[in-house]
Amino acid sequence: MKTAMTRVTLRNLAAHKLRLVLTALSVILGVAFVSGTLIFTDTANKSFDDLFNDVYAHTSVAVRAHTDDASSAETEAVRTGVPIAEDLKTAIAAIPGVADARGEVNGYAAVIGSDGELIGGGGPPQLGLAWNGDPSTPLAEGVPPAKEGEVVLGERTAEKAKAGVGDKVRIAVQGGQQDAVVTGLASGDGLGATFVFFDTATAQKLLLEPGQYSLIAVEAADGVSQKDLAAKITPLLPAGLEAVTGDELKAENRSDVNEILGFLRNFLLAFAIVSIVVGSFNIVNTFTMLIAQRTRELALLRAIGASRRQVTRAVLGEAVVVGLVGSTLGLLVGAGIALLLKSVFGAMGLDLGGALAITPAAVAWSYAVGVLVTCAAAYFPARRAAKIPPVAAMRDDIVLPQRGLRARTVIGTVLAALGAGALAAGLAGTGDTGGTLALIGVGVLLVWLAASVLAAVIGKPVVRLLASWYPKAFGVSGRLARENPQRNPRRTAVTAVALMIGLSLVTTVNVIASSAKASLADVVDSQFGADYIVQTMSPAGLEPGVTDAVRAVPGVTSVLGVGLGAFTLDGDTAQYASGDPAPLLAMINRDVVSGTAQPGRDGILISEAKAEEDELAVGDTLSAAFPDGKTETLRVAGIYQTSQFIGNYVLPAETWQAHTPKALPTLLALDASTTGAAVHGALDKAVAAYPGAEVLDQADLKEETMSGLDQILVFFTLMLALSVIIAVFGVVNTITLSVTERTREIGLLRAVGLSRRQTRRMIRLESVVIAVFGGFLGIALGLVFGISIQRSGGEEMAILSIPYVFLAVCALFSALVGILASLWPAWRAGRMDVLKAIATQ
């Protein structure tokens, strides 16, 4: 009997190829997202591992500034560190067991391209380095730099700059620009980073301070362990320096990368889970309908001796095959997605290089997800199939029993209450970002499940309402199209819910984005007090000449420099803005509500929100540790109205400059006697000679802010579009199987006078009302999610903005989905042979 059941399973698979393809598509797309994410992150991990192995291949111990919260990865761009004197390198080189000691100088340096723009940046670092013969960056061509005015470029850096050995290039460094001749090219500048090598003396002069190093890399002699060598070096180090092994450096870097890639992986997998959830609804619907169509066949199997377990296994066997096929194809599609992601990140500057890393774990997870999700979705339909009594095979009209909807009402209500509670708790905040996101995710999932359960309860009245105009507009076809979806509310609900999930998330994202844009526009209007700003994305800040250039523009009446920095304040790492405090607050239309706007050298200004959060008042003192290793006690001199422009802390310029070598402003705030295109154009011309600097007025700042939000919105919408596509396949699948299930019924309708055109119209109208039902559910839930998040968003989303035009487009899109999904099933229904259809059992 077991062999016979296997043959039955294989025969059913071979006999229904189209339904298998439609069902497998849901599995393919869900698995593709999972496998693509895993393959891409594994590829990125391998690329970084290879890089770290190469970079630290000849570093057994590194002597560096002691790391603490103020010099963590979060504030690395503004970190200077405790300087390391040259004579320390000499002392370390004399220690027994040291094969080589290399002094390293690291800082900012970028090649200026022929178009006047900086090469690289926007992610991967633009590094200025001292040439010290490090084997990890060997010379590939030419000779090392020997004096000021000579540089070696990384091979990929030179390629981007279209420069070769002997060419003249212009280099941007902190504090100005330098002309140089390229004397050689070095390898090692991978993953999008740019390398500019100077001779040691020039690097110290331009990037650090004469006679100082950023780090000393020590290579151990043969037979000397890294830990033993670090122990020998440590006694020579002054306060503020530490000796770490090469293995520890690799582990630190891997940890930082894993944290970033882990976030990216989880972020992308969240979209994959959405796709899988949507696909599971399609699978449930498909197998439920297939079992309904094969009721007599399954009853006959029971009648000739098949047990319930064997029938269940036969149905699950089909699910396993669908899962295996879908997982295999999904893995292949996922590799394509990984290649696409690799290209996208390459265009953004992170060039991973090399081939894709398809690991056994990625393959195993792809098959596990595809097969397990398919089997789990098919399990309950399989159980229902096993419960078909053998006597049903002797009946002409076999209908699977339908349970009442009372249990659904109770279960759905409970799930909705639990989901609302989890959402409320998450939106209220738990203090931990991971915990908050987890609560919100659980809340959304529970609300989805509640909507899925309750959709069958509300489906009949809602569909009746949505299709109430069908009979008057379309006659008999409209009346039938209104009644047919109500005959099986569970099927209608499952089909609609698949579309609901995708549209609910798309709606949520658009409500949040619209509210964020409106709120940011209001912030710009209320807090942009300057006529113009000049800003740069360079970590080195604006060149000194920029200030003089814009001050010389006719009509400019005042120029205020604003610097940015980081410190550890009573144990917490924080960012601060610096400048002349009174004009700085005036620039953002903020007033001091307590204390004074002139804090003095030992004072600090804090925002109202931070003062309330930390229970601080004027006169309180705070301990501030700066990245240069020095600590100061700062007095709260004033409390100002909270601003999103400058954050929670303002330090006087003297304090910032005392702890920041070569301190340069990141932003200039300008006031002018007149404004307009002429002044804006003159300012643009004044900063044209300084790459990276740009002039913005209020309208420009709004446009730039909105443009960034629009890009994020497009990204999220495209990522969520996959779930909508899966839902569309689900509607197609459901309508197609519905037509097959009702073959005899459609034949009888044709026999009593329903024309082919009316038949096609009936199918189309059914599909449209189901899709619109799902669309309205999705829009409603999306509004609930979006408004809830907006209300809990604080000042960042103070204004609720509903994108009504977008919601109308979503509603129209739902109707269009219904029309497109019905084209093939309607055409098939219209071409049925009436006599054959009537004879169908």
**pLDDT given at position 274:** 78
Furthest CA-CA distance within the chain: 104
How far is CA 357 from each of CA 264, 389, 666, 688, rounded to the nearest angstrom?
Answer: 17, 52, 40, 44
**52's tokens:** 């770290």
**pLDDT given at position 375:** 87
Write the single-letter amino acid at 637. A
Within 10 angstroms of residue 16's Cβ, the number of other Cβ atoms is 18
Does residue 119 register a pLDDT over 60? yes
What is residue 755's three-state secondary structure?
Answer: coil
Within 8 A by CB and 6+ apart from 599, the residues are 581, 605, 635, 637, 638, 650, 651, 652
Q: How far apart are CA 566 and CA 575, in angstroms?
A: 4
**pLDDT given at position 121:** 67
| End-to-end CA gap in the chain | 26
**pLDDT given at position 183:** 95
Scan for tokens 């025969």, then name that residue: 11
Does residue 408 register a pLDDT over 90? no
Q: How far apart are CA 502 and CA 404, in angstroms?
A: 28
**764's tokens:** 């189309």
How far is CA 621 from each of CA 151, 318, 593, 603, 633, rounded to the nearest angstrom?
Answer: 48, 71, 18, 9, 6
Instruction: Return the closest-CA partner of residue 822 out of 741, 748, 762.
Output: 762
Per residue in 28-83, pLDDT tens? Answer: 878 888 898 889 888 888 888 888 888 888 889 999 887 654 334 333 333 345 67
Binning pLDDT at 50, 70 and 90, where does residue 533 land? very high
**pLDDT given at position 79:** 38
**Sequence-distant contacts of 462-466: CB under 8 A, at least 24 apart:** 462/773, 462/776, 463/492, 463/769, 463/770, 463/773, 466/769, 466/772, 466/773, 466/776
Binning pLDDT at 50, 70 and 90, where does residue 636 land? very high
Q: How far apart are CA 813 and CA 529, in angstroms?
A: 43
Q: What are the residue ranges spanned by the domains of the chain?
A: 1-60+260-401, 61-256, 458-529+698-841, 532-696
CA dihedral 767→768→771→775, nearest 10 degrees, is: 180
**pLDDT given at position 229:** 92
Does residue 771 register a pLDDT over 70? yes
**pLDDT given at position 539:** 79
Instruction: Return the closest-CA partner of residue 405 out of 455, 462, 463.
Output: 455
Per residue in 191-214, pLDDT tens? Answer: 778 999 999 999 999 888 888 898
Write the single-letter amino acid at 21. V
Which residues does residue 607 pair with via DSSP β-bridges, in sequence order? 640
Degrees, nearest 5: CA angle 451-772-764: 130
Bigger pLDDT: 769 vs 739: 769
Q: Compute the average pLDDT of residues 800-815.
A: 92
Scan for tokens 């078909």, then name that residue: 388
Does residue 454 register a pLDDT over 50? yes
Q: Compute the average pLDDT of residues 705-727.
A: 82
Highest mean pLDDT among 3-12, 346-355, 515-524: 515-524
Does residue 349 register a pLDDT over 80? no
pTM for this model (two decimals): 0.77
**408's tokens:** 């659904």
Region of poorest pLDDT, from 13-22, 278-287, 344-353, 716-725:
13-22
**pLDDT given at position 772:** 92
Within 8 A by CB and 6+ apart from 420, the residues are 443, 447
Instruction: Return the closest-CA partner of residue 390 out of 398, 380, 402, 381.
Output: 398
Q: Answer for the pair 667, 587: CB distance below 8 angstroms, yes or no.
A: no
CA dihedral 387→392→396→397, nearest 10 degrees, is: -40
Helix axis angle, 295-303 relative to 308-347, nearest 10°?
140
Highest mean pLDDT among 22-31, 606-615, 727-736: 606-615
What is residue 121's three-state secondary structure?
Answer: coil
Does residue 492 register a pLDDT over 80? yes
Q: Answer for the pair 731, 771: CB distance below 8 angstroms, yes or no.
A: yes
**pLDDT given at position 445:** 80
Scan for tokens 């060419």, then name that residue: 167
Mean pLDDT of the chain: 84
Scan for tokens 């909270």, then name that residue: 642
Q: How far apart are CA 129 and CA 153, in angstroms?
A: 10
Region of poorest pLDDT, from 20-29, 578-587, 670-679, 694-703:
20-29
Length of the chain: 841
**Sequence-distant contacts of 417-426: CB under 8 A, at least 24 apart:** 418/446, 419/443, 419/444, 419/445, 419/446, 419/447, 419/448, 419/449, 419/450, 420/447, 422/446, 423/447, 423/785, 423/788
Instruction: Return the closest-CA partner of residue 503 out of 718, 721, 712.
Output: 721
How far is CA 616 from each of CA 337, 366, 634, 636, 645, rounded to the nearest angstrom?
Answer: 51, 53, 13, 8, 21
Per residue in 100-116, pLDDT tens? Answer: 999 999 888 999 988 88
Scan for tokens 């390898």, then name that residue: 187
Scan for tokens 């004072």, then name that residue: 603
